[in-house]
Structure 1
Amino acid sequence: MTDNVRHAPQVHDGPSSRHPLVPYINAWSEEEDPPGKVIEIPGRGLVYADELVTDRDDRGVLWFRTISRPRQGRPNFQRVHPLRQRRAMRRLLCQVCAEPADVTEDGVLWLLKDQRTDWPDWPKGMGVTEPPVCLSCVPVAARQCPALRKGAAAIRARSFPVSGVRAMIYRSGPDGLNPIGEKNIPYGNSALRWARAMNLIRKLNECTVVSLEELCQKSK
């Protein structure tokens, strides 16, 4: 699978009619993490005690195990579902509805927290864990997403390779392995041996900031 794949999705679980504003990538209360004890193997790093082939991605990185029960229970807006986030990022699906993200000659559409004052060419070279969006979901995402309420920016990117993961890092201690914090880690970094991934990261390049107001008008 290429990093810039733009194929239409297969059957998916999009937002429900009962909770129409719950994004596809959000977790639900019935999606608690299944049991999975992590242990240390000298010379290899972090592994599950009962590890399966499906516990790692195609680059050998260990991921959090997840149960997929979308629309069951209550929406958890504080937690992103690792498997659905990873699927949306790999297939370039809208993070809200899981339909294909909007694409023009200027690139794929992302809706991000406005940080244009951070550096002159923002967001060039920035790693993002937020999947892209489709045109019709721009207004609701800008209005409902807590991270975007203080200011959103619409970005089109022509280049967006998969570059790494956001993961929980573990350290060996007297009482075994302990989680010490989350970190963005590029693929190929040795720290991945001690990490359990939760989000896929794409690196945005060849970026253009576009008018959010115009996009909202076009989506009607």
Structure 2
Amino acid sequence: MTNYAALVPYTPYVNAWSDEHDQPATVIERPGAGIGYADETLYDRDRHGVLWQRVAVNQGAGEPNFGKVHPFRQRRAMRRLLCGVCAGPADRTDEGVLWLVRDYRDDWPDWPNRMGVDEPPVCVGCARRASRMCPELRQGAVAIRAGRYPIAGVTGLLYRTTGTRFPRLVGGHQVPYDDPAARWTQAVKILRKLGDCRVVPLDELCRT
């Protein structure tokens, strides 16, 4: 059994906390333009015009909500290539930026090339700790150096038109920015697409 209380001092930067509640926001349909908020402001959309979930920013308040990511901090870490654990600069070498992800090498022959990730990159020190302490990563983790990692889209909640003022929530999905469905998505995470990747054995990483 995982002792989550012992993990509190090591709560990742991008983790949500129990007092960071979703903010009131009524999702409406904008004819010909997808979804929006009834009281929308300029801060509700990113530079690509995609609507983002409203969440209070109160890091450290209450208890860590392990498994739930805070949209603002995830977005900041992904855009600035910050370590998702400590918020310092992610590790970067001539071979690329470092990511630590679940090991799915059986998914396709040249995995993880072309993989979309919504986990921010990491620094070497946090990669070592996370591989030992994170319950999900302990099931099988792999470190990756990615030479290419463009921002490609978002993870979020997809809505469909109902022909009325209020659209219908369909469920969660990942969508590229150039997909028309992005206009119908309430984003919660940024996606980057990895390329020119090299898998780095964890024992090799721990020796550096």
Normalised by the length of structure 1, the TM-score is 0.88
Distance in structure 2 (CA, Å) of the matches to 1:23 and 1:72: 14
Partner of 2:190: 200
Partner of 1:165: 154
Distance in structure 2 (CA, Å) of the matches to 1:217 and 1:76: 32
Say whether 1:212 aligns with 2:202.
yes
Of residues 171, 176, 182 in structure 1, which corresponds to 2:172? 182
The residue identity in structure 2 corresponding to 1:184 is: Q
- Compute the displacement of 1:41 (Å): 1.6
Give aligned-pair identity as a percent: 54
For the aligned residue pairs, the C-alpha RMSD in angstroms reads 1.4
Q: Secondary structure at the match of 1:20?
A: helix
Gaps of 5+ in 2: 1-6
- Compute the displacement of 1:175 (Å): 9.1
Of residues 23, 26, 30 in structure 2, which corresponds to 1:34? 23
- Compute the displacement of 1:42 (Å): 1.1
Gaps of 5+ in 1: 1-17
Of residues 114, 138, 142 in structure 2, which corresponds to 1:125? 114
Q: Secondary structure at the match of 1:72?
A: coil
Say whether 1:135 aligns with 2:124.
yes
Say whether 1:93 aligns with 2:82.
yes
Distance in structure 2 (CA, Å) of the matches to 1:120 and 1:193: 33
Instruction: Tell me the alpha carbon deviations over residues 77-102 of structure 1, each in whole angstroms, 9 at most, x when there is no partner.
Output: 12100010000000000010000000
Contact 2:29 2:165 in 1 (8 A): no
- Compute the displacement of 1:151 (Å): 0.7
Distance in structure 1 (CA, Å) of the matches to 2:65 and 2:207: 30
Of residues 33, 45, 51 in structure 2, which corresponds to 1:56? 45
The residue identity in structure 2 corresponding to 1:91 is: R
- Compute the displacement of 1:172 (Å): 3.4
Q: Secondary structure at the match of 2:182?
A: helix
After superposition, where does 1:14-33 map in structure 2 within 5 Å?
19-33=8-22
Q: Which moved more, 1:187-196 or 1:174-183?
A: 174-183
